[in-house]
Structures are given as C-alpha cells and as structure tokens.
Structure 1
Amino acid sequence: MNTMTLPVLLTYEEASDLHKEIGSSSLMGHTIAKLQAELEQYMALPMDVPGQSEAGGYEHNKHRQNYHYINLAGRLFLITNDERYAEYAGQLLTQYADKYLQLDFHVQRNTNPPGRLFHQMLNEHMWLMYASLGYSCISAWLSEPQREHIVENLFKPMLHVATEKYGFDFDRIHNHGIWAVAAAGICGLAIGERKYLEMAVYGLKGDGKAGGFLAQLSELFSPSGYYIEGPYYHRFAIRPLAVFAEVLHRHMPELDIYNYKDQVIKKTTHALLATAYPNGVFPALNDASKSMGITDMGVVVAVSMVFKRYGFDKNLLGMAQIQNQVWMHSCGRALSQACAAEGKIEPPFWPSVELNEGPDGNCGAQGFLRMQAKDKDICQLSMNYGQHGMGHGHFDTLGIAFYNRGQEVLREYGFARWVNIEPKFGGRYLDENKSYARQTINHNSVTVDEGCQNQFDANRADSVHGKPHFFMGEGTEFQAMSAFADEHYPGTGMQRTVMLLKSDALESPLLIDLYRLTSDKPHQYDYSHQYQGQIIRTDFEYKTNNELHPLGDSNGYQHLWNLARGDAGNTALISWLQGNSYYTWLGTSSSADNEVIFTQTGANDPQFNLRHETNFMMRTTGRDLLFASALETHGYFNEAVEASVNARGALNKIDVLAHNETGSVVAIEGEGIRFTVMVSNQPNVTDTTEHRIIIDDTTYSWKGFLAVEQETK
C-alpha cells in the first residue's frame, strides 16, 4: 500500500514562495509570524487526544484545537521546512488513529447525527477537512507504516461514516452539507482515493443535482450570491466553499469551478462583504450572534481567494487591511503583494445593493442602503423581503435594521444562544430562540393580532417570500426601497417603503418609514422598534407600571415586561440617547387612536437566558392602515466633559395626509422645514407611471416610484 500524496492545497513551489515572506513586514509576513507563534505556544502544551463531551466542554474544544493545529503544523512544515511541525502533526494524527475506532458514537444530544469525536457530524466534518489538509502536507514525510495506520484506522472509517452510515445526510442542501462534501473530497485526495472527490462534487447519486458541491452552489446561493441562511451562516459556509473551490480549481480543472453558475463564488463573496455594517460586523438577519464580522477566518480565506481568482479590487485591499491578515496560501500572498504595492489603502466602501434570493433569484431580496453623512459617517439601512432562511430563519419579513455613528440603532436581537458556554444548554440553541428570538414582535416590523408571521410554521414560511416593489440605491441625497408581503398573515396585505434622505437642514440622513397594511376586517397592529439607550423625552403622557406583568401570553409577548404605556393621539415623539448620539423618532398612523407601549425582555425567563433589550411599539386597530415614522440622528453627548449639544432634533411633527391603492402621502415638519413624501402603492409601477392624489383642495402628483419635496421658511 502506498498512500503518499502531494499536498492538496499547495505546491512545493508555492510553499517555497511563501518561505520568502518569513520575517517580512508584509501582511503575509505578519500572518506567518502570528500563526507560527500560535502553533509554538500550542505545541508547548501536553499533547492530548481526549474522549467526548457536550459542545463547549473541554473535550469538544480540545478536538477543535487539535484539528486546527494539525492543519497549521502541516502547512508551516512546508513553508518553514521545520521538521518539528511535521513530527507534531504526525504524532497527533497517530494518536487519533489509535483511538478513533475505540470510541462509541456520541450519545446524541442534538438534532444532527452524532460522530465519534463530536456530538454532531458537522463538527466531525470540520475536523476531517482540516486534519486531511494537514496530513496531505506531511504525507511524504511520514513513514509508510504511519501513513497506513492513519489512513486505515482514521480517515477511511471517517469517510465510511460520512458517505455510508450517514449517507442520508451527506447530500443535505445546507451549510452542514457544504462541510460534508468539502471534507470528504479533500480527504479522498489526501489519501489517494479519488472516488470520494467525485462523490463530493456530484453527490452520492452522481448527478450533480440531488447532492454534492455543485448542487450546494446551485441551490443555496442566489444569482446575486446571497446565501439563503443569512450572513452569520454565510461566513460559516464560505470557509469550506472557498477552500474546496481552490482544491477543485487545482484537481478538477475541467469543472471550471470559478466560472460555475455565472461566477457565483465571486458573487457570493462580494454579497457577504456587502451585508456587513461599516464596523465590519454582520447584521443578525437570522439566527446569529451580535459580534461575528469580517475578521472571521472563513471571510479571511474568501477575500484572499476571490482576489487571486477574479482580479484586482481596491475594496478587497481595504478589507485585508482591516482583517490585518491574509490566508496563508498562494492566494493570500497575491493579496499581500497587492497591498504592499498600493501605498495608501482606502477603507472599503460597498455601495447600496439589492441581493435577490432563491436559486433563480425570484424569491424576493435583501436590500441594503448606504449613505454618507456630512461628516463622512456611513449610515446603513437594511430590509428583509426575501425568503425565510430554512431552519435558521427568523419570521421577520419586512423587518429593518439601522446603523449609524458606529452603532446599531434599530437593532436585531439575533439568536437566543450562548455559543459553547456548556452550562447554558451545552452552548446550543435555547428554547427561547423559538419562543422569543425568532418571533415577529422581536423585530422592527408590524405584528398582526399578536401573532407570528406564517403562524411560526417554518415549512409554510419557506414556501412564501416578499415581493420587491422598487430599489433606488444610487442617490447621494436620497435612496429608497419598497416591497410587498401579502402571504405572511392570512387576509392581510403589507407594504413597506423605507428611505434615507440627506438635507442641509439635518445633521445626518433621515430615516423615513412607511408601513401600509390592508385587510377586509379589523386587526390589532403593533409597530415595534428595538432600541438601546436612555429615554430622554416624549411629547405624550404615559404611565409606568410599578408591578410588572407580561404583555401577552405567546408569540414572544410572554417574554416582554409591560413597563409603561400611554395614549399618543395622532402623533408620538420619542427621543433617546445611545452612546454619544441623540435619536428622535416621530411616529403616527392613519388612525387617530394610537397607543405607545414600552417593554423590556425578561418576563417568563427563569434561567435568565434572554439579554435585557428594550422596545417601544405603536399599537392601533383598523383594517386599511398606514404607519409612518421618521428617525432623526442629532446632537452629541460626552459625559466625561459634561457636554451636551443639540439634544432636541430639528423635526417635531409627522402626518399621514393620504393612503390608498394609488399611493401614500406623508408630511414631516420642523421649525422652518417641511418634507412631503409621496410613494407609489401600485405593484406594477414603472419610473414613468403618473400618480395623482387629491386631498381636500390640494393635488399631489408625481411620476415614478416616489417623490420628496422639501420646503424651507
């Protein structure tokens, strides 16, 4: 038996080129030095191949560290020629080969099939991919008996589990499936069993449609590149995607993988980067942490890969500078060299973009508007009008999130989960993820009759999607997007139009929001806003509740303490301080009977699983109704020097003048300034469509999707 193979991801010539970067001040030199120091520190610890534990336990984390350093040691052996690294990786792999078949399958505590090392096969596949990459780098250095022992007692049994014992899960179209096929394909190459590469690419049926890498690319990624499960899972899925794409580029060039599906690999990398907030953190558009961002290793790998394979892009240089590292690979070296040659590198600026969803791009979209304020601060406004997002989707179609001045202002909760904190249900998803985090009331949207969109039925939610109305993302003074969602609440149609407006009369771009609902019978509508900060003032009276009770008994309402409420009449003003900035929200509806309710999470939460988050909502009842609001950013506060500037905004009133099948007209006013906003409600509108609405003796007319008129005194 001869299982000696060449390195899967690096040629010896490429490794020699990387060797030249050692000790240099380049990004690659910095990356090599950082990773080498990490490896040396880990090698100084006692070598340990433990048994099993829950996610987040010592054993779980040790297995994760071990596969990372097997891979790292293998590559650094090729780059530095230091045989200590090959010896270390070989010893670790040998100990795993000694132990793997002696372990029973994990006692399953997850919905996913268990492995021998981890509680779920997802982690087993991650281990297999990284360990296989490391093995391929040292295979020629190992003795024949060592290679045979590792292959026969470790890699082949792991491949058997992945492709036969759990063959039903191998072809799953999901982020788990991407890891599975990447692991199997790379391991097959590493041990000289090419049949596993074929399985990985074309699936167990061999048709490239029922499963395999090509099916994953076809089904999970839209033509725009948007990944169905959202940015948090996108950054996780893009790591095996980028690594395996590079493997296929080298070992199956006939696939022309980088041009597959109209260069979807390039598009999906750019789509992921385009979703990030200006601070690099990904918005929590579905099950997601609030801190995951572009420095994640999957994104680092993807940025290097896409730069090398698709050509020069200044935004990618700026991204690499923020990441302060590159992929320790020839792709990363190309990016590092480009950064060194560029001189001054500007921060990346991604333009406004609408990312269509679904395999064919016809399942709605995610919209991202970006606009620079006078002080160059970047505002970002996102709206979800796409798909539910499979098992990790949130029921928040037409939900929005808003970011400016370095902070998320209208906030997404993300998931209810404490990742890898073992005492918190093993670090897995908590029950509150279903009972609160994924509920409609938890998002910046409208909840109808205190119910969840699609009755919290994921299968139903996956069968419907929002419908884009228009997207205008190129303006420097005005940008907007609009969409319909008519199948998410029975008998209720919804349309939301949001826009960013820059004016000399305002410090920062103004967020304007028009949310229209239509029904043939009355409903209770709750127009909710998740905010963070200290309430500064309101223009209506409210009563605080000294004895706290939940706001409702289901669909997330059972987790909201009813803090205070008050009648707002026609218009409500709420101002709060967050960080160093003031925010003033003006809200109204076409009803004259509006109530504002202030809430905080924490009710029916005996284990303190939920973060304490605050919310205010405008509640009213009706059939056809329009909510309208404007969010103004203004002023500055610095407690250290006791400075407060412009704590009151320029705007103080908002009115719904009209709304019908033709359009909606809203007026926003302040001292010496008035904006009149006119939006088309017609589903088949074009930029030449004429609109005309008469209110009393005043005629409002405009052409196209919308118009904004500004009057100053």
Structure 2
Amino acid sequence: MQLTRDGQSVATKPTVYSRTPDWQWLIHDSPAEAAQRARLDLPPAFANTGRYENGCSLFPASGVAVLRQAAGDFTTQPESTAVAFSYGPYGGGHGHPDKLSIAVYAQGRQWIPQVGSMPYETNWKAEWTAQTISNNTVVVDGVSQKPTGERNTQWPADSATDKVLGKLDRFDAEHKLVSASCDSAYDGLLLHRTAELHGALVVDQYAITPQDAAGGKTHQFDYVLHIDGQFVESTAALSPRSGPLGDKCGYQHVEQKQGATIEGVTSLTFASGDKRLRLWIVPANATPLELILADGLSNSPTARMPMVVLRQGGASARYLTLFEPLDEKAPLRAVRLERGIAGGPAELVLERETESERVRLN
C-alpha cells in the first residue's frame, strides 16, 4: 500500500503500528459510552479566562495572544494586520517545539505562516514538523527546543517533571503589544520576545540571554522566518550560496540560496501577486548578523517556501525586525535605531516621505 497526499507519494516505507497500551484504543477500541468529561452539555467554561479588548485577544490558559490592527469587527477589514503569538504549555505529542513563535497576517493573507504538519507516519513528520526550524522562532546551536532536542521523533512530548512552558510578561491591548518569555526551551538560556503593532506595521524584538549572569558560553543563534512570498530584492549585496544549512534537526531540509554579512539596517522585499511585504532588519548590537536566504519545506514534501535566517554568535543575542506590508502611497523611506531621550529606552525611527514616527522599544 502506498500512502499519498494530494496525489503525491508521502511515505517511502511501510507504516507499522505497534499495539501500545497508551493509544491503541484510539484505533481498535471504541468505547460504548462517552466519558462524563467528554459530554457536550456541560456548562460553558472553555476560554473563561480569555480576554478580547480593542480588537486583540488573549487566551492565557492556552498561551496564545492575537494582536489585531482592527479595533472593531476585524472580519470587515480583511486587509488589516494581525499577529498570532504562541508561548503557552506544550501540546503533547501533537505539539511543536516552537516556544515564542509568531505568525503574521496582512493584506488579506498569511505572510509569515505557521506551516502546519507534514503527513503523519512519514519521515518528514519527524525530520521537519517536530523540529524548531520549521517554525518562526529562534534555534540555538542548530538543535531544536525541548522536548525534541537532537532527536528525530514524530511525537515529542514533555513531562510533568520537565515541562516546556512560556510565561506571559505583558499583554497591552491599548498599545497592541504582547511580551512573553521562556526559560525551559534550552538549558541555561532565557528566551524573551515582544511583538507590537504600530498601525499596519509589526515590530518584533527577540532577546536570548544566559540565566546565570556569569554565564559566558558561546552559542550560535538562528532567528528563523518562513515567508509565503517570492523574494524580490535586498538592499544588501548578496552572494550565492548552495547546499543544506546543516545535517540534523531539520537543517538538512533547508537549501541555502543567497547570503551576506550585514552590519547596518537592511531590507528584504517579498511579493505575492501585486502585494508586497518588506522585512526591515535592524542590528540591535555591535555583533554582525549573518543573513541567509533559503528554501525550506512546508506541510508537503513537494512544496517549498522561502526562509530568512538571521545568525549571530555569542553568549547572548538580540534581534530587531520590522514587518511592513507595503503601502505604495506612503512606504517607509528609512528605518533607524536611536538611543532613548535622557537615558530612556531606545527608539525605532520610521521615516516616510512627509513625516517620521518614533516607536519606543521595550
């Protein structure tokens, strides 16, 4: 028997199901009567701690926040921008090692998508879906976040004694901002991310710091984005690259295309039809960034998607990016980082042809 999906072969080896006691009943043993907890007539308690304010949603038990540009009925404003931010408890075997991952919607489409899952019971499910690099977050030392680590396993799961769990630090619907952190994805490291909407723009800040103030171990940090659009242009001169980005943890499925070492603000433009997304990369410290443009897998072995990987080394790392759904009437002309006034927080300056705006960073 050959396993196919959309007419394409997705399995190269026979699938073998082991009769293990923890899940065999799902296939073989249909219960005669539903358990009490599965009844559908129980009082409505789902998402009873959720919040919907100023167009933004927070689901604290699930660990998901959604920022929306539209303050009212967002279904009537399909071109507006939205960001989904995931930080919460691991989802069992069906979960992904993707703490502090984001997805970006704008101009009526998902520009930065969560690509979903490869077909079950295939090598791609273990080698791609269950690896951190298939998500829009940070990978450390080329190894996936817990609970996957360096393993190839289709159903990675954490445990009660070793939970992988992020923490909400701030949800500000008025200013359309969410911030969360996670200290359990990588031993000895604290991940912290802040996403903020500024009109239709998305400001993304990501920091990785050692939990021990004296920690000085050097790491390789990869900030990863999957972009559903064709690469058009870069303000940095790019050199051709080839070959896989690595040999394990999903890196073997990422084909390098172009790259550069950047020290100043750089923008990349992607297109889908007549729509454009511009990614502004703003170096947040003195460490040069290695920019890698590549093609990665998606949710099908035959479908590939452009990727951006920003790599830097050191004991810690900071990333600052801006997503601009291009408005041809008033595009950004320049973006720069400035020190805060009177010792305050740094500010991102956004310049247009007729005006400039300042975004205070957190």
Whether these two folds match at TM > 0.5 is: yes
User: Which residue does the alignment assign to 1:109?
Assistant: 16
In structure 2, C-alpha distance between the alignment counterparts of 1:371 and 1:446, rounded to whole Å: 25
State the 1:56 CA deviation: 8.2
In structure 1, C-alpha distance between the alignment counterparts of 2:223 and 2:190, rounded to whole Å: 15
In structure 2, C-alpha distance between the alignment counterparts of 1:410 and 1:439, rounded to whole Å: 17
Higher relative contact order, structure no. (Cα contacts within 8 Å, ≥ 6 residues apart): 2
Among 463, 466, 474, the alignment partner of 2:166 is 466
User: Which residue does the alignment assign to 1:573?
Assistant: 267
User: Which residue does the alignment assign to 1:591?
Assistant: 286
2:225–2:309 CA contact under 8 A, matched in 1: yes
In structure 2, C-alpha distance between the alignment counterparts of 1:350 and 1:612, rounded to whole Å: 36
Structure 2 residue 124 is the aligned partner of structure 1 residue 432: yes
In structure 2, C-alpha distance between the alignment counterparts of 1:581 and 1:675, rounded to whole Å: 26
State the 1:407 CA deviation: 1.0
User: Which residue does the alignment assign to 1:625?
Assistant: 317
Among 45, 64, 67, the alignment partner of 1:264 is 45
State the 1:651 CA deviation: 4.3
In structure 1, C-alpha distance between the alignment counterparts of 2:125 and 2:15, rounded to whole Å: 21
User: Which residue does the alignment assign to 2:89?
Assistant: 387
State the 1:499 CA deviation: 0.7
1:591–1:622 CA contact under 8 A, matched in 2: no
User: Which residue does the alignment assign to 2:360?
Assistant: 677
Change over 3 Å in CA distance of 1:650–1:389 after alignment to 2 = same
State the 1:525 CA deviation: 1.2
1:562–1:597 CA contact under 8 A, matched in 2: yes
C-alpha distance after superposition, 1:190-218 (max 9, x if no partner): xxxxxxxxxx22xxxxxxxxxxx2xxxxx
2:141–2:221 CA contact under 8 A, matched in 1: yes
Among 478, 498, 501, the alignment partner of 2:198 is 501
Counterpart residue type for residue 260 of structure 2 = G
Change over 3 Å in CA distance of 1:382–1:494 after alignment to 2 = same
Counterpart residue type for residue 186 of structure 2 = Y
State the 1:409 CA deviation: 0.8
User: Which residue does the alignment assign to 1:456?
Assistant: 148
Q: Which structure 2 residue ranges, 5 or more long, are not aligned?
A: 6-13, 150-155
Among 538, 559, 569, the alignment partner of 2:253 is 559
Among 34, 57, 66, the alignment partner of 1:353 is 57
In structure 1, C-alpha distance between the alignment counterparts of 2:15 and 2:282, rounded to whole Å: 51
Change over 3 Å in CA distance of 1:571–1:111 after alignment to 2 = farther
State the 1:674 CA deviation: 3.2
Report sequence identity in percent.
21
State the 1:591 CA deviation: 3.1
Q: How many residues align?
A: 329
Change over 3 Å in CA distance of 1:555–1:537 after alignment to 2 = same
User: Which residue does the alignment assign to 2:223?
Assistant: 527
User: Which residue does the alignment assign to 1:665?
Assistant: 346
In structure 2, C-alpha distance between the alignment counterparts of 1:487 and 1:656, rounded to whole Å: 32
2:158–2:164 CA contact under 8 A, matched in 1: yes
State the 1:414 CA deviation: 0.7
In structure 2, C-alpha distance between the alignment counterparts of 1:402 and 1:523, rounded to whole Å: 28
In structure 1, C-alpha distance between the alignment counterparts of 2:338 and 2:99, rounded to whole Å: 23
Structure 2 residue 162 is the aligned partner of structure 1 residue 479: no
State the 1:566 CA deviation: 0.9
Structure 2 residue 202 is the aligned partner of structure 1 residue 511: yes
Q: Which structure 1 residue ranges, 5 or more long, are not aligned?
A: 1-52, 58-106, 125-160, 163-179, 187-199, 202-212, 214-240, 247-256, 275-348, 359-364, 418-427, 503-508, 603-607, 636-644, 680-713
Counterpart residue type for residue 185 of structure 1 = E
Greater helix proportion? 1
Among 104, 107, 115, the alignment partner of 1:413 is 115
**Aligned positions of 1:86-485 closer than 5 A:** 109-111=16-18, 121-122=25-26, 161-162=29-30, 180=31, 184-185=32-33, 200-201=35-36, 213=37, 241=38, 244-246=39-41, 257-258=42-43, 263-265=44-46, 267=47, 351-357=55-61, 365-372=63-70, 376=77, 377-417=79-119, 428-454=120-146, 456=148, 458-460=156-158, 463-473=163-173, 475=174, 478-485=175-182
* TM norm structure 1: 0.42
Counterpart residue type for residue 261 of structure 2 = D
In structure 1, C-alpha distance between the alignment counterparts of 2:15 and 2:288, rounded to whole Å: 53
C-alpha distance after superposition, 1:599-643 (max 9, x if no partner): 1126xxxxx8252111011111122332111111124xxxxxxxx
2:267–2:278 CA contact under 8 A, matched in 1: yes
State the 1:350 CA deviation: 9.9
Change over 3 Å in CA distance of 1:575–1:357 after alignment to 2 = same
1:512–1:628 CA contact under 8 A, matched in 2: yes
State the 1:676 CA deviation: 3.1
User: Which residue does the alignment assign to 1:550?
Assistant: 244
2:245–2:252 CA contact under 8 A, matched in 1: yes
1:629–1:654 CA contact under 8 A, matched in 2: no
**Aligned positions of 1:34-45 closer than 5 A:** none
C-alpha distance after superposition, 1:317-339 (max 9, x if no partner): xxxxxxxxxxxxxxxxxxxxxxx
**Aligned positions of 1:631-710 closer than 5 A:** 631-635=323-327, 645=328, 649-655=331-337, 657=339, 665-671=346-352, 672-679=355-362
2:97–2:147 CA contact under 8 A, matched in 1: no
In structure 2, C-alpha distance between the alignment counterparts of 1:587 and 1:663, rounded to whole Å: 22
1:385–1:467 CA contact under 8 A, matched in 2: yes
The 3-state SS of whatever aligns with 1:675 is strand
In structure 1, C-alpha distance between the alignment counterparts of 2:107 and 2:18, rounded to whole Å: 41
1:567–1:594 CA contact under 8 A, matched in 2: yes
In structure 1, C-alpha distance between the alignment counterparts of 2:61 and 2:302, rounded to whole Å: 31
In structure 2, C-alpha distance between the alignment counterparts of 1:656 and 1:561, rounded to whole Å: 35
Change over 3 Å in CA distance of 1:113–1:451 after alignment to 2 = closer
Greater Rg over alpha carbons, structure: 1
State the 1:112 CA deviation: 6.0
2:256–2:292 CA contact under 8 A, matched in 1: yes
Greater strand proportion? 2
In structure 1, C-alpha distance between the alignment counterparts of 2:252 and 2:338, rounded to whole Å: 32
In structure 1, C-alpha distance between the alignment counterparts of 2:166 and 2:338, rounded to whole Å: 25
The 3-state SS of whatever aligns with 1:185 is coil
Moved more, 551-560 or 584-593: 584-593
Change over 3 Å in CA distance of 1:459–1:350 after alignment to 2 = same
* TM norm structure 2: 0.80
1:591–1:620 CA contact under 8 A, matched in 2: no
The 3-state SS of whatever aligns with 1:452 is coil
In structure 1, C-alpha distance between the alignment counterparts of 2:144 and 2:253, rounded to whole Å: 14
In structure 2, C-alpha distance between the alignment counterparts of 1:112 and 1:414, rounded to whole Å: 27
